[in-house]
Structure 1
Amino acid sequence: MKRLLTLTLCITAALKGFTQAPTAGQTYSFSVADCINYAFEHKDSVINAGLDVKSADYKVKETIGQGLPQINGSASFQDYLKVPTTLLPGEFFGAPAGTFIPVKFGVKYQSNLGVSATQLLFDPSYIVGLQGRKTYKELYNRAYTRSKIDAQVNVTKAYYQVLVSNEQIKLLDANIAQLKQQVDQTTAQNKQGFVEKIDVDRIAVQYNNLVTTRENTIRLLALNYQLLKFQIGMPIEYNLILKENLSDVNINGDVAETVTDTTFYRRRIEYGLTETNLQLSRYDLKRIKGQFLPTLSANASYANSYQNNSFGSLYSTSFPSSYIGLTLNVPIFSGFQRTNRVKQYAITVQKNENSLNGLKNALNLQASQAKIVYFNGLQSLNNQKRNQELAREVLRVSKIKYQQGVGSSIEVTQAQTSLEDADNKYVQSLYDALVSKVDLDRAYGKIQ
């Protein structure tokens, strides 16, 4: 039995050393805030949302550019392999009436160089586009904020998962240490004839199961570290060390003030995004209505024409032309297309208004649910703490009774099982409470 226990401890120590060995790559020591800031700079979803903000800014500049002068240059060259022929009435040249004389007009080489410009003077759609450019940029800025909030929530939960797994390993280590002592004592008592072999085997089975549980938990801890690295956008091969522990986490902070806030939904990024979409749909409706109004633009052109039968002398003589003018486009009738388009956009506005009202109710419901889950989680955590202490006390008394000969090894085994179960439930309740606190803060708009 001693050889078996020694071999088990050696394997466990080797596995622990393998798991904690530093991985290749850089090493970081992060708090929760450090992980969140790292995710803001490296998480692909956050980076892409930031690129969308830049793209929206360029889109706004593109829209503004539609109201600036539009200048274009043009150049052309023609080599008439056969100069076009035109038929003229014969009587122009003294020929009989009804006859035609073929005449070639033009030269072999022709070229034109010109520049034209247009300037928008009045366009209701352009004016509305300028009015909505701030709202358009705000939409992508809020989408960027939402991606950062999502990253912050996911990173915090992943960080807490690692802390809870570490806590679970500490509890397992404590149980393994005291159970190892109990195995040694029971083995010694068996050699002295005070206890039966079955008592030693029963405790050894429990010990081996606990060692196996610890090994599995260590592997899960390594996986949780990888999940945290994934959430912050860190390469898996990098080594990450957590600076904080569970004692640094304040589960009860600012809860009373949070749950009494009745206007929290206005801080929710989802509400802001829906508001922005509603405002943009109103601008779209206004833009479509503007299509009933005329548009006015100014235009100008200057060109040089070159013609010659000799290519070498083509550009020796130019024939310039230029003009300036105004273009007025007045919509008269479009087969009721514009009217029906206005009605469609008006319906879109109504739908977005309904969505905003529905979202307000949904956010209130979500907050109420998060509050209940949080308080239930706290109560369960406190209850599991008490159960854990009671189970530890029951185990202590059972061991004393067994050592004094007034109890059985079965009672000790059952007490040990109860303590392990209490530890597992405590760890689960601890994680649930931490996660519910994060969900509560998000539900009430405290994560920005």
Structure 2
Amino acid sequence: MKPKIYLIIVLLVMSYVRLRGQGTDSLNYQLSLKAAIDYALTHQTAVLNATVDEEIARNKVKETIGIGLPQVSASYNFQDFLKLPTTLLPGEFSNPPSDTPIPVKFGTKYNSTAGIELSQLIFDGSYFVGLQASKTYKELSVRNSRRSKIETATAVTKAYYSALVSTEQLALVDANLAQLTKSLNDTEALFKNGFAERIDVDRLQVLKNNLETERENVTRLLQLNIDMLKFQMGMPIQARLLLTDKISDIRSEPVAAMATDSTAYKGRIEYSLLETQKKLNELDFKRQKSTFLPTLRGFASASKNYQSDEFSKHYEQSFPTSVIGFTLSWNIINGGQRIYQMRTAKLTIQKTENEMLNLKNGIANEISAGQKIYLNSKRSVENQERNLTLAKEILRVTRVKYEQGVGSSLEVTTAETSLKEAQNNYIKALYDLLISKVDLDKAAGKINY
């Protein structure tokens, strides 16, 4: 029996490991920037909620349409008079006539009424305006959904670029660390042979220790940036994510062209939202005007009344009733409330127009500032690249001089420090360039989904 038990245990363990492996594989991703954005558009909470809001808006439109459709209601009422109500009749009706009222009970013990009623809105100005407003409200929800997608794509792009910059920084640190380790090993060999001083080894060792600490910090920063990217995408934090795009490819992509006309604002979702909001405000003004008109409703109803003193015979006899008609209601005077409501609605339209004008100017300023910032960042990266190349060359020459005995270890240490500073400046400039590129594309309305 024991071999069978062991076999079962082994099979269970193998199944568990296989299932765990499948679960881990399903959380492994290799994504380009475009794939990361596509993932976010189907998993990010803000986008999902915006899609739900679109569906809610569609239901609101159908709900508004339903107000003008026929309304049918049914009712049933049953009464059991434990004591019939008493009515006092004048004594003159008695025989012989009396001076005191005569108590009389009318009705039956059991009474019930079953009926059905149909009503139909024939004319209501507010309803027809409401139909237009509900469709515009749906349009507003669609544009809000688009804005959520644009904001999500922007956030994902910035997070992706941050992770790429950290990857580039880590690569520079690794290359620098490899060169520094070689210099340290060479200097230690020279020291052992009496061609270098102990202080030369110590200086390089301090630099190496600092660089290893920096590498640990950059590695943690890279993981933090990747986790932030996962969060912006709506991806589980425990998933494994590998970025496939390279910074060199991204830098070669075209950037938003310089806007020379005054219509760039039309490509911005923020302006489209204000346009839709203005439509809603205009419809609200139209609705306020429609309240001066009357409302007409038609109705029809049919019912049956059952009366008896015995419950077993209650439904043997009925008394039907049916009626059709219409109701016209017209609020003629309401203390001037409608006039002031109209004025308020008109002022709201004016406010929206002012906001649209301000947004136009703001977008133009944003594009202009974005272009300048991008050009400055681009020049800064070019300068820092030249500085980085020079720092590498200075370090190379300094090492050669030191190895040939015509330079000092202090010069090598200074060159190592300068290279590290040049690398940090280059990374910062590169990050600023990529972020300014995203901001400029967004300002010019080039990020659309």
For these two proteins, the number of residue pairs brought into alignment is 426
Corresponding position of 2:129? 128
- 3-state secondary structure, aligned to 2:291: helix
Q: What are the Cα deviations for residues 208-239 of structure 1, in whole angstroms up to 9, with x where unaligned?
A: 10011001111111111111110100111111
Corresponding position of 2:19? none
Partners of 2:252 and 2:116 in 1: CA distance: 71
Corresponding position of 2:362? 362
Partners of 1:259 and 1:334 in 2: CA distance: 53
CA contact (8 A) 1:259 1:371 kept: no
CA contact (8 A) 1:176 1:210 kept: yes
Corresponding position of 2:345? 345
Q: What are the Cα deviations for residues 94-146 of structure 1, in whole angstroms up to 9, with x where unaligned?
A: 34353211111111111110011110111000111122333211100000000
- 3-state secondary structure, aligned to 1:328: strand
Corresponding position of 1:168? 169
CA contact (8 A) 2:255 2:441 kept: no
Partners of 1:318 and 1:357 in 2: CA distance: 71
Corresponding position of 1:11? none
Corresponding position of 1:324? 324
Partners of 1:416 and 1:163 in 2: CA distance: 24
Corresponding position of 1:3? none
Corresponding position of 2:16? none
How far residue 244 of structure 1 moved from its aligned partner, in angstroms, is 1.4
Corresponding position of 1:5? none
Partners of 1:262 and 1:402 in 2: CA distance: 61
Partners of 2:132 and 2:59 in 1: CA distance: 16
Question: Which amino acid is 2:94 matched to?
Answer: F
RMSD over aligned CA atoms reads 1.4
1:409–1:261 Cα change, 3 Å: farther
Q: What are the Cα deviations for residues 150-182 of structure 1, in whole angstroms up to 9, with x where unaligned?
A: 000000111111111111111011100110010
The answer to whether the aligner puts 1:102 opposite 2:103 as a matched pair is: yes
Corresponding position of 2:248? 247
CA contact (8 A) 1:79 1:109 kept: yes
Partners of 1:92 and 1:409 in 2: CA distance: 134
Corresponding position of 1:77? 78
1:95–1:407 Cα change, 3 Å: farther
How far residue 258 of structure 1 moved from its aligned partner, in angstroms, is 4.2
- 3-state secondary structure, aligned to 1:292: coil
CA contact (8 A) 2:31 2:242 kept: yes
- 3-state secondary structure, aligned to 1:325: strand
Equivalent residues in 2 for 1:1-400, closer than 5 Å: 26-96=27-97, 98-251=99-252, 253-255=254-256, 257-400=257-400
Corresponding position of 2:425? 425
Partners of 1:107 and 1:301 in 2: CA distance: 24
CA contact (8 A) 1:36 1:156 kept: yes
Partners of 1:43 and 1:244 in 2: CA distance: 21
Partners of 1:134 and 1:24 in 2: CA distance: 45
Question: Which amino acid is 1:272 matched to?
Answer: S
Partners of 1:406 and 1:23 in 2: CA distance: 57
CA contact (8 A) 1:265 1:364 kept: yes
How far residue 420 of structure 1 moved from its aligned partner, in angstroms, is 0.6
- 3-state secondary structure, aligned to 1:230: helix
- 3-state secondary structure, aligned to 2:314: helix
Identity over aligned residues, as a percent? Answer: 51
Question: Which amino acid is 2:161 matched to?
Answer: Y
Partners of 2:125 and 2:229 in 1: CA distance: 51
How far residue 250 of structure 1 moved from its aligned partner, in angstroms, is 3.6
How far residue 247 of structure 1 moved from its aligned partner, in angstroms, is 2.2
TM-score (norm 2): 0.92
CA contact (8 A) 1:251 1:434 kept: no
Moved more, 73-82 or 400-409: 400-409
1:261–1:156 Cα change, 3 Å: farther
Partners of 1:155 and 1:198 in 2: CA distance: 48
Partners of 1:258 and 1:138 in 2: CA distance: 31
CA contact (8 A) 2:255 2:437 kept: no
Partners of 1:191 and 1:170 in 2: CA distance: 32
- 3-state secondary structure, aligned to 1:106: coil
Corresponding position of 1:16? none
How far residue 372 of structure 1 moved from its aligned partner, in angstroms, is 1.2
Question: Which amino acid is 1:185 matched to?
Answer: D
Partners of 1:62 and 1:345 in 2: CA distance: 24
CA contact (8 A) 1:88 1:103 kept: yes
Corresponding position of 2:3? none
- 3-state secondary structure, aligned to 1:249: helix
How far residue 262 of structure 1 moved from its aligned partner, in angstroms, is 3.2
Partners of 1:98 and 1:347 in 2: CA distance: 72
In structure 1, stretches of 5+ residues that fail to align are: 1-21
